[in-house]
Amino acid sequence: MENQPKLLSGFQDFLPDRMIVRSQLVETITNEYKKFGYLPQETPALEYAELLLGKYGEDEKLIYEFTDKGERHVAMRYDLTVPLGRIIQMYGNELAFPYRRYQIGNVWRADRPGKGRYREFVQIDADIIGDDSVVSDTETLLTILNTMSALNIDVTLRINSRQILNALTKTCNLSSKEGIGILRSIDKFDKIGWEGVARELSSLDYSNQVIATVKQYLDIQGTPKEVLAGLRSLLSPSETLENDLARLNETLDLLTSAGIDASKVTVDPSIARGLDYYTGLIFETVFNPDPNFGSICSGGRYDRLIKYPSGEFAPAIGMSIGLDRLFSAMSTTGLLPEPHSPIQAFIVNFDKTLLPTYFSVAQKLRAEGISTIINPNTNKIAKQLKNASDRDIPFTIIIGPDETKNNNAVVKNMTTGEQISL
């Protein structure tokens, strides 16, 4: 077995059973995206490395990069947002704004492989570029909620805003730079709890007064309206904050107008999202069948990352579903749909001389949209039927010498065993 080929660690093969289910998920997701008017877009797997470098902070070391045979320094796509930025900057003059696009694509990260974490994985992103209104904020959240509902997945949306976090920093009398440590610690609240956050803040030399304020901040709980009221009373007032709280409030009201159950959305001050580029609404999802699984769909508003061809910033909001994480979450909680065989009919092969009949019948079935295979070998009939049954093919078509003589066919339902003569 010296030549036994291997799969690279952190990469995946998809045999038909998994691939069929995976394709069903992709179809369900993109169908929902399409209903919101997101249009498909695609970009290459390879980019000039300079496009990616300097965009991902310390995660930059995870980029697959190399020098190609033309001495170009190239990199494999690390996410779908940076290429989206390139698209807007290069082709913005040909696009109608607001530009709603979705993209399904592999991304590559040389990360340590783990449960639900791969080096090659599919992201399914939806973004609205060129609009900074509450309409796009609400549409984005609705897209997530409708998509999860179409997948039959119970999630809770946790939303917050970068403006609220900025107001917390100001309330602590810190500059935004000085406040970064607070945001990073808050981001870990889910994992390390208040004890952990307090320990971390104190090790970062934040004052007791700052730590006390952060505690008050994280203690704010209740219905979305109660949380907004709590934030308004804790945080130093400013027009920016007031506008932001009003905007969040309007977003919540519009979700209600759209028929969303109030229990599906929480305002959660502990949501901070690591990425520096967010400027407004930020959100994550709780996967309720296994709340510790981590967010399967996240995103936010980023108004100062993407540029029009003119060089001006294009306001933007977007979200991303990690298909492989989603698959993993659904798989461990038994929520994946059963793969059903896409092959519907199996034509039993009695004898080589009957092949013309089998081909004629197969083409007729296919013309009706019925997925049909002709068994290529003339094994014993029982063995052929077992083969069809092993493949979960629902119908076998039996045309032997007798049937040919009488110009008919027997269709056998492999689930019920029922046979009908046609």
**Segment contacting a copy of itself by CB under 8 A, of 103-111, 164-172, 229-237, 268-276:** 103-111
In Å, how far from its chain's centre is CA 179? 30
Binding flags for a copy of itself, 12-31, as an x/- string (CB under 8 A): xxxxx--xx-xx--------
Cβ nearer to a copy of itself, comparing 114 with 376: 376
Output DSSP code: residue 96.
Answer: P
Cα–Cα dist 85/134, whole Å: 22
Tokens of residue 416, six digits: 């019920």
Binding piece for a copy of itself, criterion CB under 8 A, among 89-97, 191-199, 209-217, 277-285: 89-97
State the binding string over 376-395 for a copy of itself (x if CB under 8 A, else -). Answer: xx---------x--xx----
**How distant, in Å, are the alpha carbons of 1, 7, 208 from that of 4?**
5, 10, 61
With beta carbons less than 8 A apart as the criterion, state whether 218 and 197 touch.
yes
Which of 187-195, 231-239, 358-366, 395-403 is the region at the interface with a copy of itself (rule: CB under 8 A)?
358-366
C-alpha–C-alpha distance, residues 143 and 154, integer Å = 14
Strand pairing report for 265-267 and 155-161: parallel
Structure tokens belonging to residue 353: 């001389």
* 369 part of the interface to a copy of itself, by CB under 8 A: yes
Please tell me whether residue 359 binds a copy of itself under the rule CB under 8 A.
yes
Q: Site for a copy of itself (CB under 8 A): which residue of 202, 236, 371, 415? A: 371
* Single-letter amino acid, residue 68: D
Q: Which of residues 127-156 bind a copy of itself (CB under 8 A)?
A: 131, 133-136, 138-139, 142, 146
Q: How far is the CB of 212 from a copy of itself (least distance, A)?
A: 39
Rounded CA-CA distance 249/234 in Å is 17
- DSSP structural state of residue 315: -
Residue 197 phi, psi dihedral angles, 5° rounding? -60, -45
Residue 191, φ and ψ in degrees, nearest 5: -85, -40
* 411 interacts with a copy of itself by CB under 8 A: no
In angstroms, what is the minimal distance from the CB of 191 to a copy of itself? 27
The interface with a copy of itself within residues 229-248 (CB under 8 A) comprises: none
Entry field: residues in the chain:
422
* Contact pick of 71, 94, 239, 338 for a copy of itself (by CB under 8 A): 94
**What is the footprint of a copy of itself within residues 249-268 (CB under 8 A)?**
253-255, 257-259
- Which residues ranging from 312 to 331 are in contact with a copy of itself (CB under 8 A)? none
Please give the residues from 57 up to 76 whose contact with a copy of itself meets the rule CB under 8 A: 61, 64, 66-70, 72, 74, 76
| Residue 120 found at the interface with a copy of itself (CB under 8 A) | yes
Residue in 113, 124, 108 with CA at minimum distance from that of residue 75? 108
Least distance to a copy of itself, CB of residue 300, Å: 17
Biggest CA–CA distance in the chain, Å, is 94
